C-alpha cells in the first residue's frame, strides 16, 4: 500500500508539472483596438437571482461596445422571486439598451439556454451567469480575439469576488487551481474544463452538434458537455482567451452547506464525462487526497514527507496561475487550506455518489 501511495504521489506531481508547463507556454492577450466587426448575443439564464441581477445589469449597461452590435437575452428559469420584475424595470429605465426577457417553459438551465439561443439574432453566443460582474471591455476582447484566431469555441477567465473571510478565500484558492487547469489544458490542446460564466461559441456549430442533446437530464455541465462536443469535432478551433480585460467576476458560495451542494452538483456529472484526460486527472486528484487519510496509519513520518511534496507542488502551480489573475493570496490561508482540502474534496466525491442532490431548491437524481 505504501508503495502504491508513493507511486500515486509521483504521478500527481508529474501531472501538475505537465499542467505547469501548459501555463508556462500560455500567452496573455494584450488589449488591442480592432474594428468592431462581430455581433454577439449574450445569454443569461437565471432562477431566483434578485440579489445579484441589479449588479450584473449595471455592469452590462457599461459595456464598451456599440449597442447595435450586441443583444442581451435573459431567460427566466421558473423564478418565484422578483427577478423578472427587476429586468423589466431595468429595460424601462434603459430604453435604448438591447435587452429582452424570455420565460423558459421547461425547468432546466440547459432548456433555458436552448430556448434563449433559438431567439438570438446573432451567430456568436456569449453566456454568463446572473451572479456575475462583467468587465467593461468584455465584448471588445472577444471581438479582437475572433479577428486574430479561427475559433468556434472560446473559454474566458472567471474569478471569485472575495470579502476576506476564510470560506471565500478557501473557495478562491480552489477555483484558482481549476482555472489554472483550464488554461493549461487549452494550451496543450486537451481541454476538459471551462466555465459557463464566461463562454463564447459559434451558433451554427452548436446546432450542427445538436446542442445539449444527450446530456439534458444532467443538471449541470452545460459548459463541459458542450466543450466535449466542440473538441470532438475540431480541437484546433477551441481556445482560451487569457485576457485580463475579459475576466468575469462571480460570487462564491456564502455558506459551507451551499458550497458542498455546489461542488456535489459539479462532481455528479463526472460519470457522464467522456474526456480521458479529464477522467484520469479527477481520479489522480481524488486518490491522492484520499491517501492523505490512509497514510498516517501506515507511516506517520512518510505522511509528512509526501504532504510536504504535495504542498510545494500545489503552491508552485497556484503561484503560476496567479501570475495571470493577480489576486491577493494570504500564506496562512494557503497552509490551512492545504490541510482542509483533502477532507473537503474526498467528502464531495463520496457524497456525489448518492442518488440525488439539491440545487436551486430542486432535487436532481443521478
Q: Among all chains, which residue has been given the C-alpha cell 483596438?
A: 33
Could you give the percent of the chain with pLDDT greater than 70?
96
pLDDT digit string (tens) for 190-244?
A: 999 999 999 999 999 999 999 999 887 777 788 999 999 999 999 999 999 999 9
The predicted pLDDT at position 221 comes to 82
**CA proximity to 43, closest of 107, 105, 102:** 102
Other CB atoms within 10 Å distance of the CB of residue 300 = 9
The predicted pLDDT at position 217 comes to 74
pLDDT digit string (tens) for 255-313?
A: 999 999 889 888 877 767 788 888 999 999 999 999 988 888 888 889 899 999 999 99
Contacts of 357 (CB under 8 A, 6+ apart): 219, 261, 264, 265, 268, 351, 363, 364, 366
Residue 245, SS3 per DSSP: helix
Report the predicted TM-score, pTM, of the whole model to 2 decimal places.
0.92
Angle at 277 between CA 273 and CA 283, to 5 degrees: 75
> What is the four-CA torsion angle of 154, 181, 244, 21, rounded to 10 degrees?
-110
Mean residue pLDDT of the chain comes to 92
| Statement: residue 361 has pLDDT above 80 | no
Beta bridge partners of 313: none
240 to 132, 153, 200, 227: CA distances (angstroms): 19, 9, 10, 12
- Domains, the chain: 2-23+273-353 (no CATH), 31-255 (3.90.550.10)
CA 72 to chain centre: 20
Backbone angles phi, psi at 9, to 5 degrees: -65, -40
Amino acid at each position: 500500500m505504501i508503495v502504491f501511495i508513493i507511486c500515486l504521489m509521483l504521478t500527481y506531481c508529474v501531472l501538475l508539472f505537465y499542467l505547469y508547463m501548459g501555463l508556462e507556454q500560455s500567452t496573455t492577450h494584450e488589449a488591442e483596438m480592432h474594428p468592431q466587426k462581430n455581433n454577439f448575443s449574450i445569454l443569461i439564464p437565471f432562477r431566483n437571482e434578485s440579489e445579484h441581477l441589479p449588479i450584473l445589469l449595471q455592469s452590462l449597461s457599461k459595456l464598451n461596445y456599440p449597442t447595435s452590435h450586441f443583444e442581451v437575452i435573459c431567460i427566466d428559469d421558473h423564478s418565484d422571486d422578483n427577478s423578472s420584475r427587476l429586468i423589466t424595470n431595468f429595460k424601462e429605465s434603459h430604453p435604448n439598451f438591447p435587452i429582452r426577457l424570455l420565460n423558459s417553459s421547461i425547468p432546466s438551465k440547459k432548456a433555458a439556454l436552448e430556448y434563449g439561443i433559438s431567439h438570438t439574432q446573432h451567430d456568436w453566443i456569449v453566456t454568463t451567469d446572473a451572479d456575475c460582474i462583467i468587465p467593461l471591455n468584455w465584448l471588445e476582447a472577444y471581438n479582437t480575439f475572433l479577428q486574430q484566431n479561427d475559433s468556434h469555441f472560446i473559454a474566458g477567465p472567471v474569478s471569485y469576488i472575495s470579502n476576506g473571510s476564510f470560506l471565500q478565500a478557501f473557495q478562491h484558492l480552489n477555483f484558482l487551481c481549476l482555472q489554472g487547469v483550464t488554461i493549461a489544458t487549452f494550451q496543450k490542446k486537451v481541454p476538459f474544463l471551462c466555465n459557463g460564466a464566461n463562454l463564447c461559441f459559434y451558433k451554427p456549430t452548436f446546432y450542427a452538434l445538436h446542442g445539449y442533446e444527450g446530456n439534458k437530464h444532467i443538471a449541470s455541465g452545460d459548459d463541459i458537455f458542450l466543450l466535449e462536443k466542440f473538441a470532438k469535432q475540431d480541437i484546433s478551433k477551441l481556445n482560451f482567451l487569457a485576457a485580463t480585460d475579459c475576466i468575469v467576476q462571480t460570487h462564491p458560495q456564502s455558506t459551507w452547506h451551499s458550497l458542498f451542494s455546489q461542488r456535489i452538483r459539479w462532481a455528479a456529472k463526472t460519470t457522464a464525462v467522456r474526456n480521458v484526460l479529464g477522467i484520469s486527472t479527477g481520479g489522480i486528484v481524488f486518490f491522492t487526497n484520499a491517501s492523505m487519510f490512509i497514510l498516517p496509519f501506515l507511516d506517520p513520518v512518510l505522511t509528512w514527507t509526501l504532504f510536504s511534496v504535495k504542498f510545494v507542488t500545489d503552491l508552485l502551480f497556484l503561484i503560476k496561475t496567479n501570475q495571470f489573475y493577480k489576486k491577493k493570496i494570504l500564506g496562512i490561508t494557503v497552509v490551512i487550506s492545504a490541510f482542509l482540502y483533502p477532507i473537503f474534496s474526498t467528502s464531495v466525491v463520496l457524497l456525489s455518489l448518492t442518488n440525488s442532490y439539491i440545487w436551486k431548491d430542486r432535487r436532481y437524481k443521478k
